[in-house]
Structure formats: C-alpha cells, structure tokens
Chains A and B, each alone.
Chain A
C-alpha cells in the first residue's frame, strides 16, 4: 500500500480536490436555487401555531400570481410561541411577514410596535362578514385593530350522557359548578379541567371570575398602574369553586398537572363525567373511542353563581402582520384573504377551530360535521365569552396568578388577596416572578 501512494503523481490530489470543490459548489448552487422558489415571485412567510393542516391549506389557497404564502410552524406551547416571535421581532427580523397570534399577547406585541395596523378597507370586510365582538375586542389595542381575527375558540361544558342520566341532572337548564362537583362526587365521576401551572389554568380562573361578574384587573391602559381587582368578591367565588373541586372526590388524581389533553383522557375514561374544554373535543374520540364519541353531550359553560350567566373562556388566533416585514403591503393583502369567511370555514372543517365570524359559520361543510344546536352553542358561547384582560403586561399577570394559585389544592380564601398583592408587586418590579 505504502509504495503505491508514494509513487502517485503529485498533481492528482490537487486536481481531485478541485473537481470536488466544483461539484460541491454546483450542488450548493442548485440547492440554493431550489430554496429560492419561483424566480422573482415574493414569498410571504407565515408563522403558524401547530394544527392539523388547516393553515397550510389556506396559505396555498391565498397564494396568488403576485406572491406565495409559505408556513413555518411555531412551538406547541402558546408561551413558547410568544417568546420565539417576540425575541425575533424585538430584533426587527424582516423574515417574519405574518404570524398567528394568541389573543392574550396581542396587546404586548402592539404596545411594543411589532404589529402593523389593520387597513381601513379590511375593517369594512371584517364588519361585513359579522366578526364576533369578542374577537374584535381581543384584537384591539389603544382603539386600533392590530390583528386580523381568524378563528375564535371557546369552551363549553361537555358531559357523558350516560353519567348525567345516572346522576339525574337536567342538562337542558343551566348548571352551576357547585352542581356538577356534587353530581360527580356523589356518583364516582371525575371532572376534567385545566389546572397545570400554565396559561390554561389562568384561562379557567379568568372564566370563573368573569362568570361571577368580576375582572382580574381594571383600567388596563394604565399599564403597570392598572387596578388589580382579583380579591373582590368574584375572585373569592372563583377560589371557592377551585377549593371545592380540589378537595372533593371529583378531582382527578392528576388535577395539578392537568391540561387540555389529560383532561380529555380523564373524560374518556370510565370515570369521565364532565369536562370544560375547547370546541375540538367533539370529534376527539371519533377514531380512538367511538363509544365515548356517541356518549358526548354538551351544554353552556357552568355558572359560577346560580342565576348569573356564565362567561366562557375566549381563545383563538388572530393574524398579525409584522411591522418589520419587507413586504408589509403584500402581507396585509394576504392577511385579508386568510380571514375571509370561506377560509375560516375551511380551517374549521380541517382543524375543529371555529370561525371568528358568523359568515364563517355558514361554511356548508360545518353543518355536516357538527349538529346544528352545537354550532349555535359555539356561537352563543363566543358572543358571551370573556377575553383575558387586554394588557401589555398580561404575561406578568398570568405568571403571577400561576405562582399564587397553583397547585389548586392550596387555593383557599386567602389566595385572592395574596395574589392581588403579588401581582401589584410584580408589575411595579419590586418582586421576582
């Protein structure tokens, strides 16, 4: 072996290296050309939350001869989506054109100047298609619409028909938390809620407080000087409900780590009784547990105070256009297309995330997938829903509530006042969160 290598002509390795370099360059340039897409046609990049393909499909529908919309998937967790987007936008990253934004973060992004305002002509379009007031409220900051409402989600009370029959509850009438906790406890059932230390737990707490006629904070436009009102009577009602559930036998063993997914599993188990969860639950068991799917009933979100209308949680996604996008005008045009009623309907059909407008609900396929009364319940619930307070400091408020109200088993009448003090300290920067 050695003699052969020593007799090799000296020029050969150089030539070989040169040929290798040329081949690498050729391959790299062809790959780069492939990444570049169709010649000079601009590409709009839409950062989407993970879903089952709805957003990618409508991105294709809304691509035109002028531009192509491509999607990039953000992390699963809403807080992680916020972090990734905010850090890149703070660095004025021009690569983000469009983004799917969770409502509680709208104010923070708008206040930081990350979002381009919605143009006048689109405002008319959104009004004409009957965009829900809750969706518009959640998309507005400083009297300006800064996000295009795309889909609006809400929670309803899901129940197992066999269980309520056994428990003898009339579900045609509004029910209260007290009633369902008692019914589940007396009949060996478990109630599915979201009580892990995460945003979903605050969604539940907010819905309880709003249902009792209160708010977590008032005068949000005052920023860090907003008035915190979580220790008022509605806050006490909310704490009492959580305390009652956590100390009852209706609390699932994994209550303190429960999220939408685990609560769905509890509901699908033999002990499943009631569940508060988003709209997509209706088709959640079609493939995995058909018997459960047939046993699902639905009603309006439970009341916190008997006789007082409940205010279900509001969720959803709005489409924001980045202020730093190099193609802002095209992105605004594209966003207007993405939120058209047909696109909202198509997305709802594919993902179970319901439209943000009445016209979106008219999408024919939805009537085939959902019963008429359920579609009505969804719309009624979205209209009655209470968005989380629109404030640029929502993530501080939310994390403070998580820090003081978690785990649910420790919640008692002292929790609301102590959390109020804590939120105030955090907003003033006097304590660590």
Chain B
C-alpha cells in the first residue's frame, strides 16, 4: 500500500501529468476563447497590422508627395539611419533625458510618496495637490513651462536673478544645456506625481509589523528606510522605474512645444515625427519607427533582466 501511495505523486511529475480536463471545463475553455477572440482580432488589427505595415514601408524610398517615385531599396533606410550622426546624437539626448529625469523623479517621487503615506492631517488635500501636475495635459504643462522660461514674459529669470549665472537677459532656449534643462524641468514636474503614485502603492505593501519590530530592535530611521522599507518595495520601485523609463524614452510633447528640436534638443520620437509628418518620408520614417520600437523593447528587456523585476509580484500575484 505504502509503495503505491509513494509512487503516485512521482508519476504526477512525468509527461502525462496534465490534469484530466472534464468535458464541462473543456467546453468552458472553448467558450472563453470564443469570447476573447473578437478582442484579440481587434487588437491584432489595430496594433500588429500597423507594425507590419511600418516594417514593409521601411524597405522603400517613399515620399507622400511623390508616390510615383516609390522604390524598393531593401535595408538602405536602416543603413542611412544607423550611419547618420543625427540619429546617434538624438539617441544620446533621449537617453540623457531618460536617465536624469527618472533619477530625479525617483528621489522626489519617493519623498512625495512618503508624505502621502505618512501624513495624518489633510491627507486627501495633500494627496490631491501632489497629483495635480499629473492631471494636466503634457502639452499644456509644456506651454506653461515654455512661458515660465521665456526671456520675454517668463518669471524664471526674475525670480532667480539672485543666482550669479541668471540675469534678465538669460535666454534659456538659446543654448543646448539651458534648453535641455528647461525641458527636463517640465518633464520632471509633470511626471513625478505618477512616480509617487506607483511608489505609494509599494509603500502600502510594507508591513507595519516589520517596521515596528525594527524600531523595537533599535534600528535608526535611516536603517529602517534602507534595510526594511526599500528592500520590501523593490518590486514596486523597479516597476515604477520601468514604466517611467519607457515613457521618458519616448519624450515628444515637451520638446515639440518648448524648442521644436532647436539647439540640438531633439529626441528619437521627435526625429521620427519630423521624417514621417514634416518631411513626409514614409520609408525613412518607418525605418526610424521600427528602430524606436526595437530600442524600447531592448530597454524594457534590459531593465527587467538587470534589475530582476518580477512583474507578477508587483501585481500582487507573487
């Protein structure tokens, strides 16, 4: 008897381990598939089809205003893009904006999350105030910051004139670094609340009991933060970084409104926009779109692999 009982679970791990599906659950599965099929087909139509179309178009020299001159050129568009210094300069700009803004947002966003988590007095009001920038449309906030830094009618020059390098005549959009600074400030202001919101969710997952225990053991405030809070919300931090990094890598609105890419402040998305929309170079633009898509995929993969992000755990499934 005992031998038989012992072998049963081992057999369960073998090839024929698939649980026996009853007729009823098989029918339910089939029904389930039928029910999601329309949504899946629709998703394929609106996402996969344009992607395939972009891939196809990227193999042509094709200008919208000269459709008769359309010509198959293989991977020439990719060669042109990848050997052009403009593409690499814009990639550098994009990466720089991504790294700086996400780093600043992480620190400031964490501080905001702590405030939102710990505050007792006027909690709702405080949380709402912190989230207001995120509720504002990016184009609107970009215009607001463009005016703020404007030489003619902005307040930044007069408010900060006590700083030695800022005068009434400081033209923030007249040089590369000041212009990049203005763009990054606008981006950080707009999206820090989003980061704070994601981190707040992580903070809520940290058990109060553990913090209490650490406190009883004599851990200082800094030790509790670095040894208890941060390790326990690692998954939430990594998801926040992943989301914001991918978002920041596709930055467009702020640059479009504030500098239009002048002073070498262009990002990859902006370069793609200019090729497809302004220059109407559908082939070259599609090649750039494909490269942008691949680089976002690569970035996502790198972040997930390097930081060992467990998305399932972040969703509370782990």
Contact = CB atoms under 8 A, between A and B. Distances in A.
Contacts of B274: 399, 433
Interface stretch (A29-37, A252-260, A294-302, A322-330): A252-260
Interface string A237-267: 0000000000000000111110000100100
A87 B260 contact: no
Contacts of B152: 254, 262, 265
Q: Which of B61, B86, B171, B175 has the most CB of A within 10 A?
A: B171
B271 A432 contact: yes
A391 to B, nearest CB: 12
A197 B279 CA distance: 16
Given A253-B151, A257-B174, A432-B87, A111 B66 contact: yes
A257 B175 CA distance: 10
B64 A432 contact: no
Contacts of A395: 278-279
Interface residues of A, number: 31
Contacts of B174: 253-257, 407, 409
A108 B279 contact: no
A253 B277 CA distance: 32
B61 A429 contact: yes
B67 to A, nearest CB: 7
A198 B151 CA distance: 18
A399 B278 contact: yes
B192 interface: no
A361 to B, nearest CB: 35
Given A83-B277, A431-B84, A112 B171 contact: no
Contacts of A309: none
B318 to A, nearest CB: 41
Interface in B101-158: 151-152
B169 interface: yes
B262 A197 contact: yes
Given A430-B80, A432-B284, A257 B86 contact: no
Contacts of A255: 174
Interface in B264-309: 271, 274-275, 277-280, 284
5 contacts: A108-B65, A112-B67, A254-B171, A254-B174, A256-B171
Given A83-B277, A90-B65, A253-B170, 7 more contacts: A108-B65, A254-B151, A256-B171, A257-B262, A430-B80, A431-B84, A431-B86
